[in-house]
Amino acid sequence: MTTKQNPVQNFETVTTCPLCHENLIIHWKSDNIPFFGEVMYISALCDCSFRFADTMILTQREPVRYEMTIETIEDLDARVVRSTSGTIRIPELGIDVEPGTISDSYVTNIEGVLDRIQNVVVTASKWVKDDEEKYALSLDILKKMNDARLGKQKLTVIIEDPLGNSAIISDKAISKTLTAEESKDLKTGMIIFDVDSSEMTVDTSDNVQPLGE
- What residue ranges do the domains of the chain occupy? 61-208
The answer as to CATH 2.60.120.1040 being correct for domain 61-208 is yes
Q: CA nearest 139: which of 151, 148, 149, 129?
A: 129
Beta bridge partners of 38: 32
One-letter amino acid at 181 equals E
| Phi/psi at 115 (5° precision) | -60, -45
User: Residue 212 is which amino acid?
Assistant: G
- pLDDT for position 140: 93
What is the spatial distance between Cα 163 and Cα 165, in angstroms, rounded to a whole number? 6
Quote the pLDDT of residue 59: 66
Q: Is 80 helix (H, G, I), strand (E, B) or coil?
A: strand
Q: Each residue of 170-192: pLDDT tens digit?
A: 999 999 999 999 988 888 764 43
Judge residue 27's burial from the number of C-beta atoms within 10 Å of its C-beta, 0-12 exposed, 13-18 middle, 19 or more buried: middle
Q: Compute the distance between CA of residue 126 and CA of residue 130 in angstroms, rounded to an integer.
A: 9
Is this prediction's pTM over 0.75?
Answer: no
The predicted pLDDT at position 110 comes to 97
pLDDT of residue 1: 42
Predicted local confidence at residue 68, as pLDDT: 98
Which residues of the chain, if any, have pLDDT below 50?
1-8, 190-205, 208-213
The secondary element (H helix, E strand) that includes residue 138 is: helix 132-149
For the sheet with 79-82, list strands across it: 106-109, 79-82, 167-169
